[in-house]
Amino acid sequence: MEHKKRGFFEKLTGSIKVDDDDQDFKRKVIKGVKAEKENNWIEEAEEEAELTVDVYQTPADIIVQTMVAGVKPEDIELVIGRDMITIRGKREESRKIEEDNYFSKELYWGSFSRTMSLPQEIDPEEAEATEKHGLLTIKLPKIDKERKTSVKIKSI
């Protein structure tokens, strides 16, 4: 049975995707036996989860939004280029609870990141980022390639 990398949603919810042709695994789960796949999400905590994002535009800006609830703004790293953005951080679990005491463990704790190409060039120097109630909003001003400027010539 091959091991596939789990998606952010699968890590976030603790769910697993089972192929229709994986009858052996389905039988193990139905019988209540803990299958190997079922426990891997805990061991994969060292991997970075991929953030889900909304990206949209206004006439002047490209807006990127993502949920970063439970992460302090100073623990989020933004790297912005003219045509790419990377959001990286880590959600730390503050309480220490023995694994045996959990009935359900669906929240994602650990490192996360997302790098994506932007649909058009932006001015990274003018970017703004705000966080409110766990929603990170990044405003990226578009570069207006049609804008023209007159330059007055000085005599020296």
DSSP type of residue 52: P
- pLDDT of residue 15 exceeding 80: no
CATH code for residues 48-144: 2.60.40.790
Residue 78 is predicted with a pLDDT of: 95
Cα 82–chain centre separation: 20
pLDDT at position 136 is 95
Least confident of 7-11, 49-53, 80-84, 142-146: 7-11
Q: State the pLDDT at residue 35.
A: 41
Give me the sheet containing 84-91, strands edge to edge: 49-50, 110-117, 84-91, 76-80
Residues 6+ positions from 147 with CB-CB distance below 8 Å: none
Amino acid (1-letter code) at residue 84: M
Give the Cα separation of 122 and 61 in Å (integer): 8
pLDDT tens readout for residues 35-92: 444 445 444 445 778 889 999 999 999 999 999 988 888 899 999 999 999 999 998 8
Cβ-count burial of 136 within 10 angstroms (0-12 exposed, 13-18 middle, 19+ buried)?
A: buried
Give residue limits of the domains in the chain: 1-46, 48-144
